[in-house]
Amino acid sequence: MVDLKGQYQKIKNEIDDSLREVFDTTAFIRGPKVKEFETALASYLGVKKVIACANGTDALQVALMALELKPGDEIITSDFTFIATVEVIALLGLKPVLIDVDINTFNIEAHAIENVITDRTKAIIPVHLFGQCSNMEKIMSIAQKYNLYVIEDNAQALGTEYIFSTGNNRVKSGTIGDIGCTSFFPSKNLGCYGDGGALFTNNDELAERISSLVNHGMTMQYYHDFVGINSRLDSVQAAILLIKLKYLDNYCKERQKAAAYYNRKFSGHPKLIIPAGSSFSSHVFHQYTLRFIDVDRQKLMEYLKSKGIPTAIYYPVPLHLQNAYKYLNYTEGDFPVTEALCKTIISLPMHTELDEEQLEYITTNILNFADNY
């Protein structure tokens, strides 16, 4: 699904040099590379503060911890996302309140948010799934009206731009809500060579609390003002990310190029629905996800596998039907769009190293199956 080796080969010298610096200085934890990376990412995103942490899941958890919520407080998020989004809500003793998604963009159905707001609702976590922003203007206006926090799960959309409806104004995704969270898992848009994550915010007070929370709630050495966790980005990962950040926009362009090729080949086919864009977001195609009509998905995946083409289902089970979250008392039929998507989607190989020959091979085989089986 990704070609991390090919990507590394192209920047091997730069990466190796940056790593050698870390090894030579042996500043492995909270070293200068981490600070340097936080500053570079803040400048790329156009935000005041970036706080690096150990992974994207921790970023989401710390974001919620920074809001000083009470057990039982309700957090609204999407039913169609990676488990981490809802997991951290549950772990902190908060209550996940799920919402169905838009059939075209796969993102949270913003217009449905108001229906589930109660006096316990404290925050909304829109997930910018597959590389495209949720409807942030709508979400921010609801948040303002009901005095709610907004935490953006930007793990799949780093590098994406949100386009405001007025004034030709664009900002990087994840920078509109109170806190943005991202992941540097190797296959993400900006991936390190292990685990990594970050939080970003324009709120100085939140930034300070977040910095403390990721380091045991420490404000001064061995003085702890909050119950925190140990969640640090190590210098080795920061050294890699510092190099790769320079290429992030190029990486996004490569993904967009591959997606454009897929779209050209698939659009208009009666059995295939290509991923839809929206007027308020660019799309960096963290995933390229097709919907199939009247095609046996299992057989298609097996057929492609026999041709050496990997595919994946992100995600096969809606959150509300996962065993771990049965206690929320949702049932089949509660979120029909997510349920339908989970049964009909397939994600194709999508990364920065796809060449025309590979794309042609993949698309030819998919069209062959769709037309003949």
Block residue for tokens 């085989």: 365
Q: 55: helix, coil or strand?
A: coil
Binding of ligand PLP by 199 (CB under 6 A): no
- Which range of residues in 50-58, 198-206, 207-215, 357-365 is near ligand PLP by CB under 6 A? 50-58
Q: Is the dihedral of CA 310, 132, 106, 293 positive or negative?
A: negative
Question: In this chain, which of 130, 185, 292, 303 binds ligand PLP, going by CB under 6 A?
Answer: 185
Binding of ligand PLP by 197 (CB under 6 A): yes
**Residue list 163-182, contact with ligand PLP (CB under 6 A):** none
Residue 100 vs 265, nearer CB to ligand PLP: 100
Residue 4 vs 367, nearer CB to ligand PLP: 4
Element (H, E) at 167: none
Can you give the length of the chain in residues?
A: 373
- Which range of residues in 53-61, 105-113, 158-166, 334-342 is near ligand PLP by CB under 6 A? 53-61
Binding of ligand PLP by 55 (CB under 6 A): yes
Residue 82 vs 266, nearer CB to ligand PLP: 82
- Which range of residues in 36-44, 79-87, 222-230, 338-346 is near ligand PLP by CB under 6 A? 79-87
Taking the C-alpha atoms of residue 314 and residue 223, their distance in angstroms, rounded to an integer, is: 43
SS (H, E, C) 236-301: HHHHHHHHHHCCHHHHHHHHHHHHHHHHHHHCCCCCEECCCCECCECECCCCEEEEECCCCHHHHH
Binding of ligand PLP by 252 (CB under 6 A): no
- Which range of residues in 30-38, 52-60, 203-211, 305-313 is near ligand PLP by CB under 6 A? 52-60
Residue 321 vs 367, nearer CB to ligand PLP: 321
- Which range of residues in 54-62, 114-122, 217-225, 258-266 is near ligand PLP by CB under 6 A? 54-62
Block residue for tokens 């397939």: 346
Question: In this chain, which of 18, 57, 173, 231 binds ligand PLP, going by CB under 6 A?
Answer: 57
As given in the structure block, the two tokens for residue 53 are 């942490």
The torsion region of residue 230 among left (phi > 0), alpha (psi -120 to 50) and beta comes to beta
Taking the C-alpha atoms of residue 187 and residue 1, their distance in angstroms, rounded to an integer, is: 9
Question: In this chain, which of 63, 98, 99, 127 binds ligand PLP, going by CB under 6 A?
Answer: 127
Phi, psi for residue 89 in degrees, rounded to 5 = -60, -50
**Contact residues for ligand PLP (CB under 6 A)?**
55-57, 81-82, 84-85, 127, 153, 155-156, 183, 185, 195, 197
